[in-house]
Structure 1
Amino acid sequence: MANTNSTTITNPEIICPPQVNETAIATLLKTPLGATMDLFQVLESCQQHVDALIENDNNTECMALCGRLLAGLEVLKYALKAPLPAHLIERLTVDVAEPDNYRGALSTDSETLREYCVALTILLLQRQQSSEQEEHITGLLFELVNVLVEDLKTPRFVRTEGGLAMISGEAVPAIH
């Protein structure tokens, strides 16, 4: 660093680096993720991370996105076990049910599908596959996260004279 008695020439670009605009990915990576989020907020976060991951070729950003996706999937584990808040129950309730319209693409339960997504994310974090395999794994992860989100946001309840019931016809003793 130069002082007043120095003959060292200072370069302003070194002393005052230009301000870099924060990228969408940097903003996404800084977005808080935690236990106070409801199920739909966690799902949206996971979907945003996997959307950014599928579009990204930067290795460092991909690793960061995978890490955040893995964290989101871990938060999802607890969100799946937590009781549904009233506003989500309302969003998951319909007046007239058509059971065949609400079937998921896979017959796997949400927790198992979440575990598949975790396994694929960890596989991507290990960086042991070829670039072609990585592209396929990323695509599969993208598809599975979107199937999981779609399945969990699909209506589950129908209003009946006796209160809420599952679309499948089961009674709902305590909504969870």
Structure 2
Amino acid sequence: MATTPTQHHSLKALPFNVATDFTVLAAHCEQYAEALLESDNPRQRRNISDALATALNRLQSGLHNPVPPHLINSLTVDALPASAPRFEPDSEQLAEYCLTLTQILINREVTDQSEKSLTGLLYDLVSYFAADLQAPRYLRTAQGPEELA
């Protein structure tokens, strides 16, 4: 979950367009998800949700594009990372997420508590997604960058 308060007014300073690198866009998504998690203002939540949806749609539409050459160096490491991004909610969070999603499917409605749980799930998923997109993809070799399997 979020550990650092986000200043919501600074989210307006997160511009992006079709040329925005996926690593930057992933970081923006994570900031939007964190701001959403911390906001209690319905209007602000709607604006943040809209910005997050737009950024996630841009990310999704480019998932199968090759990594741009100017990003390869920033995604290249000299040694294999000790760990990779992981999504590991604790058992209480996992149970809450599952129950909330089940209730939404059954009732087709969202209570305040369910919205809070879904926002937490959304934050965890977006954080995992952003970490996965920003993780090293290449290993530096004498022959040049080699894609990690």
TM-score by length of 1: 0.62
CA distance in 1, matches of 2:137, 2:83: 8
SS at match of 1:76: helix
Match of 1:164 in 2: 145
Counterpart in the other structure of 1:47: 30
In the alignment of these two chains, the number of paired residues is 125
Which of 21, 40, 56 aligns to 1:73? It is 56
The answer (yes or no) to whether the contact 1:35–1:75 under 8 Å persists in 2 is yes
Counterpart amino acid of residue 28 in structure 1: L
State the identity as a percent. Answer: 31
**Distance in 1 between residues matched to 2:24 and 2:109, nearest whole Å:** 32
**Gaps (5+ residues) in structure 2?**
1-6, 88-100
1:71 CA drift (Å) = 0.4
Counterpart code for 1:71: T
**2:51 maps to amino acid:** R
- 1:12 aligns with none
Distance 1:128 1:30 in 2: 33
- C-alpha displacement at 1:48, in angstroms? 1.4
SS in structure 2 of the partner of residue 80 of structure 1:
coil
Is 1:132 matched with 2:113?
yes
More helix by share: 2
TM-score, normalised relative to structure 2: 0.73
Name stretches of at least 5 consecutive residues in structure 1 with no aligned partner.
Answer: 1-23, 107-119, 169-176
- Matched with 2:98 is none
Equivalent-residue separation in structure 2 for 1:33 and 1:71 (angstroms): 10
Listed one character per residue, the Cα deviations across residues 56-88 of structure 1 (whole Å, up to 9, x for unaligned) are 000111111111100000111133233322332
Instruction: Quote how far apart the aligned CAs of 1:30 are.
Output: 6.4
Residues 82-112 of structure 1, C-alpha deviations (whole Å, 9 max, x = no match) = 33223321111111225xx243425xxxxxx
Structure of greater relative contact order (alpha carbons < 8 Å, 6+ residues apart): 2
**Whole-angstrom CA distance in 1 between matches of 2:145 and 2:113:** 48
1:29·1:64 contact (CA, 8 Å) conserved in 2?
Answer: no
For 1:165 and 1:152, locate their aligned partners in 2 and report how far apart those are by CA, in whole Å.
Answer: 17
What does residue 28 of structure 1 align with?
Answer: 11
CA distance in 1, matches of 2:74, 2:121: 28
Aligned to 1:57: 40
Q: CA RMSD in A?
A: 2.4
1:142 aligns with 2:107: no
